[in-house]
Amino acid sequence: MKNTRYIRNVLFKIFFVFILAVLLFFVGLVIGYGIIGDGHPLEVLNPAIWYHIFDFLK
């Protein structure tokens, strides 16, 4: 029983850190595109912007 509780706690912590990292990634995108890049902050979530970025990298 103790092992399953430990494994569950570790998996919860890993999941929490992953979700936090994804959230901070998107916050960084909004700050970088909106404030530093002088664009509309929520425009970075537009798929057309990502197609343009991927075309630029190809």
Mean pLDDT of 23-27: 94
The pLDDT tens digits of the residues spanning 31-58 come to: 988 888 888 888 888 899 889 889 989 8
pTM of the model: 0.72
Largest Cα–Cα distance of the chain, in whole Å? 54
**Residue 46: domain span:** 1-55
Q: What's the structural domain count of the chain?
A: 1
- Contact assessment for residue 30 and residue 41, using Cβ atoms and an 8 Å cutoff: yes
Average pLDDT score over residue span 6-32: 95
Give me the pLDDT at residue 8, please: 94
Reduce the secondary structure of the chain to three states and give it as a string. CHHHHHHHHHHHHHHHHHHHHHHHHHHHHHHHHHHHCCCCHHHHHCHHHHHHHHHHHC
Q: Is the pLDDT of residue 2 over 80?
A: no
The mean pLDDT of 4-32, rounded to a whole number, is 95
